Chain A
Amino acid sequence: MTVTEPKHEEANPLLEGLQLHRTPDPCVLVIFGASGDLTRRKLFPALYSLALRRLLPDKFAVVGVARSPETDDEFRERMKEAVQEFGRDKVKDDVWNWLAEGMRYVSTDFADEDGENRVAKVLNELDRERGTGGNRVYYLAVPPDAISTLLHEIGERRTTEGWTRVIIEKPFGHDLASAQELNEEVKRHFSEQEIFRIDHYLGKETVQNLLALRFANGIFEPIWNRQFVDHVQITVAESIGIEGRAAFYERAGAIRDVFQNHLLQLLALTAMEPPIDFSADSVRNEKVKVLRALHTPGPKHVVRGQYGRGYVEGDEVPGYREEEGVAPDSLTETYVAAKLYVDNWRWADTPFYVRAGKRLARRETTIAIQFKRAPHPPFAIVDEEGLRPNVLVCHIQPDEGVSLEFLAKVPGQGVMLRAVHMDFLYGPTFRTGIPEAYERLLLDCFLGDATLFTRADEVEEQWSLVDAMVAFWKRDRPSFPNYAAGTWGPAASDELMNRDGRKWRRH
């Protein structure tokens, strides 16, 4: 018997050592909700920055779809103005013209048969003109109630030519049941690998830096556990109000707007075990394990609040119930704090205090790991402040970076201790311009990398916890408003910590 050697193509020796970017396949990005704020403020500035850095495929096009009537040229002009206003890069005509050449606009209602036909026609034309090969990324930047219909439409019309990916903006569902229903709709038409549920917090450099801090450094991981950590504090504070989003916010509240997604994602990244690699499933498997291990907090361990009139940065601002579109007797929470436990070997009995709110004293997102105090300091301590515990703070925004608080001797006679900070500041250290979260996430989706997107089971675990917390709320009627705008939230939130002999970090 003759054995034929398999024929191998000779490897290209000229590629060795070249630093080549992975370039996405040719594709068309279809944005449903193209007249909305997200498209203007985030998506187009991100697309332009990617185009400027030549990270988009050479054969690329964008189709905007929305109800508002607009021509292709009007759409191009409006998006150029958006890039000029919100982009991080100065607009260069040659780059913009390249992007604009592939831009089209279709005005239609999302469920309209004729409109969908027109979208399909434009896509086919672009495939011919731009060589995009039937590859599609659909971005659903639409109200939550339109998502199911669109998924169905896109699924029914998907072609066999090229690949299809769908990006779905948060919130993914309103509760566990609706999220499961949406996931079922997704499964009918798409595989999990084709779905990219976006939580833009995961695209932030500093959130990814948390993984680098934990898993690229040998010194932190050995003490990142119940033996050394006293507790963890996660704060997602906003100083702004609801910014005209009353219709959405009245239904969502802080727990659905921020807690269910951003805050639980930060907690999962803080508490997760090291993944075996940085692939989508390895990272997401570890996050899901944390979410599954979260113990549902009892009503005593959850605080909700709503802001009343107050002062933010010196300006008087109205209370939540006075905001346009908000019911005068609204019981929607604009603040939520909770004491959570991750019931696993690493974190047993270590509380995670989390809080998120609007109209707080300042905009700040931080993760603070507070370590246990030194067991027996050989110094005469003059007051309680004299022996503060070490705190490692990851600043997600603003002032991105990491700081470590430790005690140092005050120069002079005797031993006086003072807490000092050692700061690593992201921007000044690298000074290369931090890419916007949407740049990273759009590019990852074009490349088919779902590591920084939320998987179906993650979303369901998040909703499962939120549903259990909200179920307790149905039994009582809170006395709202219970905190003044421009403060750090209701007094009950401080009590949540004080009961355990702890305090929220000073800001």
Chain B
Amino acid sequence: MATALGTISEIDRELALRRVDPATGEPMQRTSVMTHIAWVPTQWVEAAEDVLTGLADRHPSRTIVLVPDPDAEEGIDANAEVMQFPLGNGRQVCVETIRVRLNGSRAEVPASVVQPLLLPDLPVFLRWRGVPPFGERPFEELIDVVDRLIVDSTEWPDLPAPYTQLAEVFDRVVVSDIAWARTSRWRPQLASLWPGIKDVKTIEVTGTEAQANLLAGWLRSRLRHDVALEHIQADRLAGVKVDGEPAPFPPGERPDPADLLSDELDRFSRDRVYEEAVRSA
């Protein structure tokens, strides 16, 4: 059972203890390719856990799940877990998950909790569930200590307005948007319509609001002219019409959320095409 930990040194000690295989007393090998921070307000905890389960296997990393609870009594309340993967020959390799509840005013200063827990010299990714509180202290602090911010604008209401604020952080942190990744199977299909698509006037997108806005923004920014958007709400990207003509349906299966997040974690550089699509959305 996970022990409740109240300080960073208690977390460190707990991790060191858990890295020893209880059956053999031998230290397990730790493998990490990054530190992955997830900012998970209480209402997102369940969905975040599902994705993290699929992710640990693909991207062995130290994962720090931050659950802010400004209304709770002051302090931090953490637990540390070590997940083992058998390697054969009786050897084990392990990855670590640290869950931290940031209670009371701690929810305002997450960077001071996170920085001592980062793995040295490895990239740091921040997954932010829901709309980031642009301009507010927790968000501003965290984007300054990470290399990449990962959002899913499908989770955002009132689009496309929040894209304007998102575009303002592009020069401070590299941004990935899972909603954009979900359009990746469709973009080559639309590109294949070149040159017929060159003077497109209207696209009709059946999908989420985020996907519709991002695809329209992408076409506007690439083709350098206005493209009107007609959006039909659906929970997945199911079709795109270009001036009334359906674009060919992409081959292959739709990737699951863990795959999409995992693919974003493989990327390190700025995606200028995405940034321009956001600015034009």
Chain A, interface size category, equals: 20 to 34
**A381 to B84 CA separation, bound complex (whole angstroms):** 38
A-B contact pairs, 6 of them (CB 8 A): A10-B195, A13-B223, A13-B224, A20-B188, A399-B88, A428-B60
Q: Tell me how far the C-beta of B21 lies from the nearest C-beta in chain A, rounded to whole angstroms.
A: 15
Partner among B29, B187, B191, B218 whose Cβ is within 8 Å of the Cβ of A425 = B29
CB proximity to A under 8 Å, residues B59-78: 59-60
A-side contacts of B224, CB under 8 Å? 13
Interface size for B (C-beta < 8 A) is 32
Contact, CB under 8 Å: B184 / A425: no
Q: Mark B22-42, 1 if CB is under 8 A from A, else 0.
A: 000000010101000000000
B-side contacts of A427, CB under 8 Å? 87
Contact, CB under 8 Å: A428 / B197: no
Contact, CB under 8 Å: A18 / B191: yes
CB proximity to B under 8 Å, residues A431-486: 431-432
Q: Say yes or no: A16-B222 contact (C-beta < 8 A), given A54-B252, A425-B93.
A: yes
Partner among B33, B251, B274 whose Cβ is within 8 Å of the Cβ of A54 = B251
B210 at the interface (CB under 8 A from A): no
Contact, CB under 8 Å: B31 / A425: yes
A324 at the interface (CB under 8 A from B): no
A2 at the interface (CB under 8 A from B): no
B-side contacts of A429, CB under 8 Å? 31, 33, 60
Q: Say yes or no: A399-B190 contact (C-beta < 8 A), given A54-B252, A428-B93.
A: no
B58 at the interface (CB under 8 A from A): yes
Partner among B60, B88, B223, B252 whose Cβ is within 8 Å of the Cβ of A431 = B60
**A14 to B272 CA separation, bound complex (whole angstroms):** 13
B-side contacts of A430, CB under 8 Å? 33
- Give the secondary structure class of A's interface: loop
Q: Say yes or no: A431-B184 contact (C-beta < 8 A), given A14-B190, A17-B272.
A: no
Q: Say yes or no: A431-B191 contact (C-beta < 8 A), given A14-B222, A399-B87.
A: no
Contact, CB under 8 Å: A19 / B222: no
**A16 to B272 CA separation, bound complex (whole angstroms):** 10
A-side contacts of B168, CB under 8 Å? none
A-side contacts of B155, CB under 8 Å? none
Partner among B87, B89, B222, B223 whose Cβ is within 8 Å of the Cβ of A428 = B87
B170 at the interface (CB under 8 A from A): no
Q: Tell me how far the C-beta of A134 lies from the nearest C-beta in chain B, rounded to whole angstroms.
A: 25
Contact, CB under 8 Å: B59 / A431: yes
**A398 to B88 CA separation, bound complex (whole angstroms):** 10
Contact, CB under 8 Å: A12 / B87: no
Partner among A12, A19, A54 whose Cβ is within 8 Å of the Cβ of B194 = A12
B85 at the interface (CB under 8 A from A): yes
Q: Tell me how far the C-beta of B33 lies from the nearest C-beta in chain A, rounded to whole angstroms.
A: 6
Q: Mark B225-251, 1 if CB is under 8 A from A, else 0.
A: 000000000000000000000000001
Contact, CB under 8 Å: A18 / B188: yes
B57 at the interface (CB under 8 A from A): yes
A219 at the interface (CB under 8 A from B): no
Q: Mark B176-211, 1 if CB is under 8 A from A, else 0.
A: 000000001001101100110110000000000000
Chain B minimum-CB-distance residue to A94:
B253
Contact, CB under 8 Å: B191 / A15: yes
**A428 to B32 CA separation, bound complex (whole angstroms):** 9
Interface residues of B (CB under 8 A from A): 29, 31, 33, 57-60, 85, 87-89, 93, 184, 187-188, 190-191, 194-195, 197-198, 218-219, 222-224, 251-252, 271-274
A-side contacts of B33, CB under 8 Å? 429-430
A495 at the interface (CB under 8 A from B): no
CB proximity to B under 8 Å, residues A1-38: 10, 12-20
* Number of A-B residue pairs at CB separation under 8 A: 59
Contact, CB under 8 Å: B58 / A432: yes
Q: Tell me how far the C-beta of B29 lies from the nearest C-beta in chain A, rounded to whole angstroms.
A: 6
Chain B minimum-CB-distance residue to A423:
B29
Q: Say yes or no: A428-B85 contact (C-beta < 8 A), given A10-B195, A14-B187, A18-B187.
A: yes
List the 9 closest pairs (A to B, CB-CB), nearest first.
A17-B273, A14-B191, A12-B194, A428-B93, A13-B222, A428-B31, A14-B222, A15-B191, A429-B31
**A418 to B103 CA separation, bound complex (whole angstroms):** 45
CB proximity to B under 8 Å, residues A52-94: 54
A-side contacts of B187, CB under 8 Å? 14, 18
Q: Tell me how far the C-beta of A145 lies from the nearest C-beta in chain B, rounded to whole angstroms.
A: 40
**A427 to B93 CA separation, bound complex (whole angstroms):** 10
- Most A-side CB within 10 Å, residue of B85, B224, B273: B273
Q: Tell me how far the C-beta of B53 lies from the nearest C-beta in chain A, rounded to whole angstroms.
A: 14
**A423 to B93 CA separation, bound complex (whole angstroms):** 11
**A399 to B195 CA separation, bound complex (whole angstroms):** 50
**A427 to B33 CA separation, bound complex (whole angstroms):** 12
A-side contacts of B274, CB under 8 Å? 17
**A429 to B61 CA separation, bound complex (whole angstroms):** 9
B-side contacts of A425, CB under 8 Å? 29, 31, 87, 93
Given A14-B222, A423-B29, A425-B31, 17 additional A-B pairs, CB 8 A: A10-B198, A12-B191, A13-B222, A13-B224, A14-B187, A14-B194, A14-B218, A14-B223, A17-B272, A17-B274, A18-B187, A18-B188, A18-B191, A19-B184, A425-B87, A428-B85, A430-B33
B-side contacts of A15, CB under 8 Å? 191, 194
A-side contacts of B184, CB under 8 Å? 18-19
**A428 to B28 CA separation, bound complex (whole angstroms):** 12
**A133 to B190 CA separation, bound complex (whole angstroms):** 26
**A399 to B88 CA separation, bound complex (whole angstroms):** 9
**A429 to B198 CA separation, bound complex (whole angstroms):** 43
Q: Mark A388-404, 1 if CB is under 8 A from B, else 0.
A: 00000000001100000
A-side contacts of B198, CB under 8 Å? 10
A-side contacts of B251, CB under 8 Å? 54
Contact, CB under 8 Å: A12 / B195: yes
Q: Tell me how far the C-beta of A161 lies from the nearest C-beta in chain B, rounded to whole angstroms.
A: 26
**A246 to B195 CA separation, bound complex (whole angstroms):** 62
Q: Tell me how far the C-beta of B165 lies from the nearest C-beta in chain A, rounded to whole angstroms.
A: 23
B-side contacts of A431, CB under 8 Å? 57-60, 85
Chain A minimum-CB-distance residue to B190:
A14
A-side contacts of B219, CB under 8 Å? 14
**A432 to B258 CA separation, bound complex (whole angstroms):** 13
Q: Mark A165-209, 1 if CB is under 8 A from B, else 0.
A: 000000000000000000000000000000000000000000000
Q: Say yes or no: A17-B271 contact (C-beta < 8 A), given A10-B195, A425-B93.
A: yes
**A431 to B86 CA separation, bound complex (whole angstroms):** 12
**A217 to B85 CA separation, bound complex (whole angstroms):** 28
Chain A minimum-CB-distance residue to B92:
A428
**A20 to B187 CA separation, bound complex (whole angstroms):** 10
